[in-house]
Amino acid sequence: MANPTYRREALEEEFGKLERSSPLVELNVEADSIITTVGRKAADWLDLQKTNTLLDIGTGLGRWAFFYAPLCKEVVGIDISEPLIRQAREAAHQAGVSNVRFYRGSFENLIESEEGADVRPNKVLCVYSFHHLTDPMKAAFLERLAQRWPQPLTLVIADLMWFVDPSRLRESWDDVFYDEGDTDFPSNAFWLQEAARPYFDRTLLVAVHPLVGLLVAQKG
């Protein structure tokens, strides 16, 4: 798409009315989809410790917050969608999970609620949420993240990213949940790695599909 435009209101509306069973947000981490594949694969690089605080950006219903909570001290899930945040809080309450918190927040404005002002993550995860940003927004986020939390940090982005020209794989677009550029703006994976390099000491790309992979970035 030549001129991608980030439309937060459209995204909030779209995600706010999703069924809980949608593969985009369903809590089942064993479901057979590319999202669960990359979300689980993130564990290899997050290397979570019981002392860690994990920030899950674009948490949705909290699928990865709940999955990774037993491995860390605390998980904070943030999302632009109030209805999803509300449902994630209810799910935490019903399941009696006490080390997860959910707040309104976004890539653009990490904590949009005073309650979350104390969050100091060691690890940051984004599963299938980063691709909604335009490339300039992604670059600005990488700088903002590194500056806001100067301590050692590992960022894992598990998402749509192009390792090959996507037009060569049109038949895979539905399988990888690409909406053809309506609200999805995946980057070239190698561009993404270059965008992270100025703010992190080490970066690594992992392809799990020609259109989906992980960017791991570490500092300190």
Ligand X SMILES: C[S@@+](CC[C@H](N)C(=O)[O-])C[C@H]1O[C@@H](n2cnc3c(N)ncnc32)[C@H](O)[C@@H]1O
Q: Which residue is nearest to ligand X (CB)?
A: 60
Minimum CB–partner distance for residue 127 and ligand X (Å):
4
**Residue environment code for 44-76, b if the CB has 16+ CB neighbours within 10 A, otherwise e:** ebbebeeebbbbbbbbbbbbbbbbbbebbebbb
- The interface mask with ligand X, positions 32-71, x = CB under 6 A, is ---x---x-----------------xxxx--xx-------
* Spatial distance between the Cα atoms of 60 and 27, rounded to a whole number of angstroms: 9
- Examine residue 157 and tell whether it contacts ligand X (CB under 6 A): no
- For 154, the 3-state DSSP assignment is strand
Candidate residues 75, 76, 84, 217; the one interacting with ligand X per rule CB under 6 A: 84
Residue 157 contacts residue 192 (beta carbons within 8 Å): yes
- Which is closer to ligand X, CB of 138 or CB of 219? 138
Report if residue 15 touches ligand X, rule: CB under 6 A.
yes
Integer Cα distance of 207 and 185 in angstroms: 18
The verdict on 159 binding ligand X (CB under 6 A) reads: no
Least Å distance, CB 192 to ligand X, is: 16
Whichever of 152 and 181 has its CB closer to ligand X, that residue is 181
User: For the residues of 24-56, what is the DSSP string, one character each?
Assistant: TT-S-TTSSSHHHHHHHHTHHHH---TT-EEEE
- Burial (Cβ within 10 Å: 0-12, 13-18, ≥19) of residue 84: buried
Please give the Cα distance from 164 to 16 (Å, whole number). 32
Contact 37/208 with Cβ under 8 angstroms? yes
CB of 51: closest distance to ligand X in angstroms?
Answer: 24
Binds ligand X (CB under 6 A): choice among 41, 101, 123, 132: 132
| SS3 category, 79 | strand
Contact between 8 and 81 (Cβ < 8 Å): no
Using the minimum distance from each CB to ligand X, give the nearer residue, 94 or 201.
94
Answer for which of 55, 75, 92, 127 binds ligand X (CB under 6 A) is 127
Nearer to ligand X, 15 or 199 (CB): 15
Of 42-50, 104-112, 190-198, 208-216, the window that binds ligand X (rule: CB under 6 A) is: 104-112
Interacting residues toward ligand X by CB under 6 A: 11, 15, 24-25, 35, 39, 57-60, 63-64, 79-81, 84, 106-108, 127-129, 132
